[in-house]
């Protein structure tokens, strides 16, 4: 049975509107802090789900983010960040939001009950794909319909919900229950539940990147420097990891076509771009292993000399 805590009345709700605004602000902030703790309790489940996402990307499958309403906005935000942050190819990412992604300020509430077009949108789902389904209640018709299609196609399902015992969690291969307390505004899941969802989604994508070797000592080493901000960031990353000055880092980045991982190997070991990419292929994109291989080669050459 679903625990409908997302619709429950908060213990501080009675007389809320008669309190001073500063007092209400404190309650709102405390609600967000309490909601954030829900992700801590789900850390193990989130890690397992992230590993599955990494397997999908490594196997050239597709990550499908599916949700409605405010949960859809959270899911879409995470998906849209993966390209710029970790250079996940656009062809391996899809966003399915009930009613489509908003282009204005209105987000029709009735669309979460509509499932028309989902079959066509998910027609190419297969066993190599993963569906990340998000719903505060865990009962959203649009999201559950997508999960049903995913299971028929043999795709992996990650289900994120805020109500324990929700159907979405029961249907998922990787259930992530974010048991947030009742909202200060009953049913307004864009607040506490949304905060917990945002944290969980951030954790999922970041852990996936770690598993893929796209993070090194807390730095985003799989980014592609294709604008001024990212070029500056890339220069700092290459200089720090390779132990070179900014000018050398810039030259290595240019030689690597803007890709940070091979640029680090070029700057660190003086290898060619082709050699750098070959080493990264051999180490499945893991920079730490690639650097160890380069160091081993340097030591062997030193012994010969």
pLDDT (tens digit, 9 = 90+) per residue, 89-127?
999 999 999 988 888 877 655 566 778 889 999 999 999
33 vs 78: CA distance, rounded Å = 21
Which residues are within 8 A (CB) of 294 and not within 5 positions of it... i.e. 6 or more apart?
265, 268, 269, 271, 279
For 236-259, what is each residue's pLDDT tens digit?
Answer: 999 999 999 999 999 999 999 999
39 vs 203: CA distance, rounded Å = 9
109 vs 190: CA distance, rounded Å = 13
Q: Which residues are the active-site residues?
A: 81, 112
For 37-68, what is each residue's pLDDT tens digit?
Answer: 999 999 999 999 999 999 999 999 999 999 99
Domain boundaries, the chain: 5-212, 215-304
Cβ–Cβ under 8 Å, residues 182 and 10:
yes
Report the candidate in 293, 285, 240 with the shortest Cα–Cα distance to residue 259.
Answer: 285
Q: What is the pTM of this model?
A: 0.89
DSSP letters of 176-223?
A: EE--PPPPSSTT-TTTHHHHHHHHHHHHHHHHHHHHHT-EETTEETT-
Count of Cβ atoms closer than 10 Å to residue 28 Cβ: 15
For 149-206, what is each residue's pLDDT tens digit?
Answer: 999 999 999 999 999 999 999 999 999 999 998 877 777 788 888 999 999 999 999 9
Q: How confident is the model at residue 31 (pLDDT cuts 50, 70, 90)?
A: confident
* CA-based torsion, 206, 124, 158, 54: positive or negative: negative
Q: What is the per-residue pLDDT for 104?
A: 81
Q: Reduce the DSSP state of residue 67 to 3 states and report it.
A: strand
- In angstroms, how far is CA 304 from the centroid of its own chain? 46
Q: Reduce the DSSP state of residue 71 to 3 states and report it.
A: helix
Domain 215-304 has CATH 1.50.40.10: no
CA distances from 215 to 73, 85, 241 (A): 26, 10, 12
Q: Reduce the DSSP state of residue 19 to 3 states and report it.
A: coil
> Packing angle between helix 21-41 and helix 43-58, nearest 10 degrees?
60
Q: Which fold has domain 5-212?
A: Rossmann fold (3.40.50)
State percent of the chain over pLDDT 90: 72
Strand order in the sheet with 156-161: 93-97, 63-67, 130-135, 156-161, 174-177
């Amino acid at each position: 049975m679903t625990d409908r805590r997302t619709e429950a009345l908060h213990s501080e709700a009675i007389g809320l509107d008669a309190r001073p605004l500063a007092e209400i602000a404190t309650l709102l902030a405390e609600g967000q802090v309490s909601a954030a703790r829900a992700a801590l309790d789900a850390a193990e489940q989130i890690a397992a789900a992230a590993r599955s996402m990494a397997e999908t990307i490594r196997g050239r499958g597709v990550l499908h983010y599916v949700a409605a309403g405010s949960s859809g906005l959270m899911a879409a935000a995470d998906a849209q960040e993966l390209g710029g942050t970790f250079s996940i190819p656009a062809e391996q990412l899809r966003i399915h939001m009930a009613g489509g992604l908003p282009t204005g300020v209105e987000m029709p509430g009735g669309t979460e009950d509509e499932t028309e077009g989902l079959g066509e949108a998910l027609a190419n789902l297969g066993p190599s794909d993963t569906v990340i389904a998000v719903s505060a209640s865990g009962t959203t018709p649009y999201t559950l319909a997508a999960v049903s299609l995913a299971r028929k196609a043999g795709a992996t399902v990650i289900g994120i919900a805020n109500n324990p015992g929700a159907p979405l969690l029961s249907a998922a291969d990787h259930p992530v229950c974010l048991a947030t307390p009742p909202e200060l505004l009953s049913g307004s899941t864009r607040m506490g539940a949304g905060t917990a969802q945002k944290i969980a989604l951030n954790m999922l994508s970041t852990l996936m990147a770690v598993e893929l070797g796209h993070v090194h000592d807390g730095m985003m080493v799989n980014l592609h420097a294709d604008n001024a901000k990212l070029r500056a960031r890339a220069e700092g990353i290459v200089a720090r990891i390779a132990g070179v000055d900014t000018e050398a880092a810039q030259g290595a980045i240019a030689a690597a076509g803007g890709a940070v991982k091979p640029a680090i190997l070029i700057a660190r070991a003086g290898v060619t771009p082709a050699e750098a990419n070959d080493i990264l292929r051999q180490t499945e994109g893991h920079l730490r292993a690639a650097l160890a291989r380069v160091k081993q080669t340097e030591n062997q050459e030193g012994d010969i000399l």
